[in-house]
Amino acid sequence: MGKLLEVNGPLVRARLPQVPTGEQVKVGKIGLVGEVIGREGEEALIQVYEATESVRPGEAVEPLGYPLSVELGPGLLGQIFDGIQRPLDRILEVSGDRISRGIQLQGLDQERVWHFQPNPQLTTGMTVTGGVQLGAVPETPTIEHRILVPPELSGELLELVGEGDYPLAEVIARVRTRDNRLHDLTLSHRWPVRKFRPYRQREYSVAPLITGQRILDTFFPLLKGSKAAVPGPFGAGKTIVQHQIARWSNADIVIYVGCGERGNELVEVLDSFPQLTDPHTGRSLMERTLLVANTSNMPVVAREASLYVGVTLGEYYRDQGYDVVIVADSTSRWAEALREVAGRLGQMPVEEGYPAYLASRLAAFYERAGRVQALGGKVGSVTLIGAVSPPGGDFSEPVTSHTKEIVGTFWALSKELADARHYPAVSWTESFSDDIPVAARWWAEHIDKRWQAERAEAMTLLTQAEELSRIVNLVGPEALSGTQRWVLEGAALIKEGVLQQSALDPVDSFCTPEKQFALLELMLQLYHRGTELLERGVPVQELLGLPILARAKRCKSDYDNTKVEKLRDFAKTIREEFDRLGMEYAEAGKHSE
């Protein structure tokens, strides 16, 4: 037992000899959750994850003997945890609407029994190592939860229970390590949140995460196992983009970490997620989702822990061979927690009050993304998507600019696009993706070989249009040639017919890769046909007046994902209409000769 010496907001100092940095402690009479973050001689510096009012010097501090860690096992999915893995529904049960402090609750339901099926390939006497699958339980109707030997354990398997129903704490296997120590294994184990879970080797990412959002999948793809950031000024649609990813992406497991965004937004997430259906299975989305949400009564520093809790839970499912997507909202609030702690520790502020280690902490966090071969041999991935909320929408501020250096995909939200009600307001000039070459191989193999070329052509059109719009703003549209005006229309077809996509439109909210490509191809085809006619002397006004242009822009909502063939038929109509127009002009030309 240690003794509290000083309380400084969420940081407290205690006399606590021999307790290592990183260890979890209980602080004060009410037993607040804390973590030792530094030591000076006999004294430990402790970060407390609950409000420390009413805690006084002289009270006890109890070391728990293990680092700040999470409990990993079946029953995680469908849960909503607070930033230190306490289930919110049970917190509310225990304390009512006003969450009291110092509640000790385990992350997982200890009473519930799970139907365990042992791995038939294992026999007693065999040597098992970390990651080997002991068996499995059906966690949800769609996710089989694989029970693995904890990463750092290896030894002789002395016993493995038969098929049956077991609660979490019951011993299901016994292992004797080389030093003759016996280890009882249960359906769950603990893992420290700040330590990445080991794997056998990193693998190249090969497939894009399909989010069903065209601006993301077709224009700025993100591979499964990669890292992305979504920076966005206030109100530019960050939340909707993240919801769309959580809802539609083709990951096996989705983890949403709400660290410190405004309370009402979190309530929105907590209310809306449980009502959503998983489009891939038709079942509740919560069956493959897990939420980690800092409650508003937790101090800012707790945000720091919640991100690590989320990523550790993600790595655990990765080790079972699943593709996991983690959406962190927002890393700016997390960085604010770092700043607050650094300030209280009296560390030298470097950029805008952030400590010098901001960039390295951010990098270390994103480093936990990846596609790996797990210790047990299965391949799984963690894809990290961090929202960033730059104050005033200024992307040069430290968190956004460091994050930009770290991530491979950057989905920059633009206030101007949002103001113009162009949604998703992802800017095509400021966003980037390093994953295009690999994604192109996937698109070529699964959808169409021309994907990369068509994507590049659409981007060129958008860039040309951007420059032409500047001219129009300066000297008016009359200054443009017919071809230039047609370029503007080509870009408008891409913007309105492909990029704009309403999350609220039931037909268009999710777009399959097939339909994404069909739409892109349709718009480019229209543009090419028009260009041909312009070259044959058809005036641009004739083309701009064609009703088929407006129809093409509506195709995204007129044809659902099952009607891609019909969409291609519509493309044929366009060809015919343009051919007819071309013929008419040829005829008219002949007559006038």
Ligand X SMILES: Nc1ncnc2c1ncn2[C@@H]1O[C@H](COP(=O)(O)OP(=O)(O)OP(=O)(O)O)[C@@H](O)[C@H]1O
Annotated binding residues for ATP = 232-239
At residue 278's C-alpha, the angle toward residues 276 and 283, to 5°, is: 90
Residue from 424, 497, 513, 530 that binds ligand X (CB under 6 A)?
424
Long-range pairs of 547-553 with CB within 8 A, sequence gap ≥ 24: 548/573, 548/574, 548/577, 549/489, 549/493, 552/493, 552/497, 552/522, 552/523, 552/526, 553/492, 553/493, 553/496, 553/497
Burial 294-318 (b: 16+ CB within 10 A, else e): bbeebbbbbbbbbbbbbbbbbbbbb
Closest CA to 225 of 330, 329, 324, 327: 324
Q: Which is nearer to ligand X, 348 or 504 (CB)?
A: 504
Closest listed residue to residue 197, CA positions, set 368, 339, 40: 368
Binding range to ligand X, per CB under 6 A, among 93-101, 250-258, 374-382, 496-504: 496-504
**Residue 456, number of CB atoms within 10 A of its CB:** 12
**DSSP notation for 524-535:** HHHHHHHHHHHH
Per CB under 6 A, 240 contacts ligand X:
yes
Report the C-alpha gap between 427 and 159 in whole angstroms.
58
CB of 296 to ligand X, least distance (A): 16
For the chain, state the CA radius of gyration.
28
DSSP state of 100: P
State both tokens at 224: 């499964």
Residues touching ligand X, count (CB under 6 A): 13
CB nearer to ligand X: pick between 232 and 299 = 232
Nearest approach in angstroms of CB 329 to ligand X is: 8
- Which helix (H) or strand (E) segment holds residue 336: the answer is helix 331-344
Binding range to ligand X, per CB under 6 A, among 3-11, 135-143, 234-242, 335-343: 234-242
Euclidean distance between CA atoms 452 and 264, whole angstroms:
41
> Smaller CB distance to ligand X: residue 38 or 235?
235
- Does position 19 interact with ligand X (CB under 6 A)? The reply is no
Q: Of the listed pieces 41-49, 195-203, 235-243, 554-562, which binds ligand X according to CB under 6 A?
A: 235-243
Interface with ligand X (CB under 6 A), residue from 10, 28, 208, 237: 237
Give me the least distance between CB of 204 and ligand X, in Å please: 31
In angstroms, give the least distance from the CB of 508 to ligand X: 9
**Residue 120: DSSP 8-state:** T
Q: Considering only 313-321, 499-507, 525-533, 562-570, which stretch makes contact with ligand X by CB under 6 A?
A: 499-507
* One residue of 33, 68, 229, 236 binding ligand X per CB under 6 A: 236
Q: Does 503 bind ligand X (CB under 6 A)?
A: yes
Candidate list 256, 316, 423, 559; residue touching ligand X; CB under 6 A: 423
Q: Among 100, 234, 460, 469, which residue interacts with ligand X (rule: CB under 6 A)?
A: 234
Stretch that binds ligand X, among 36-44, 79-87, 217-225, 228-236 (CB under 6 A): 228-236
> With CB under 6 A as the contact rule, which of the stretches 44-52, 118-126, 237-245, 442-450 interacts with ligand X?
237-245
Q: Is 317 in the site for ligand X (CB under 6 A)?
A: no
**189, 224, 238, 318: which one binds ligand X (CB under 6 A):** 238
Cis amide prior to 67 (ω within 30 degrees): no
Which of 226, 330 has the CB closer to ligand X? 330
Give me the least distance between CB of 357 and ligand X, in Å please: 27
The correct pick among 232, 258, 299, 370 for binding ligand X (CB under 6 A) is 232
Assigned token pair, 409: 């995909």
Rounded Cα distance, 88 and 82, in Å: 6
Cβ atoms of residues 361 and 315 within 8 Å:
no
Looking at the Cβ atoms of 161 and 240, the one nearer to ligand X is 240
Annotation: binding site = 232-239
DSSP 8-state class, residue 278: P
Binding of ligand X by 66 (CB under 6 A) = no
Nearest partner of 497 among 467, 530, 527, judged by Cα: 527
Minimal distance, residue 486 CB to ligand X, in Å: 28
Q: Which residues bind ligand X (CB under 6 A)?
A: 232, 234-240, 423-424, 502-504
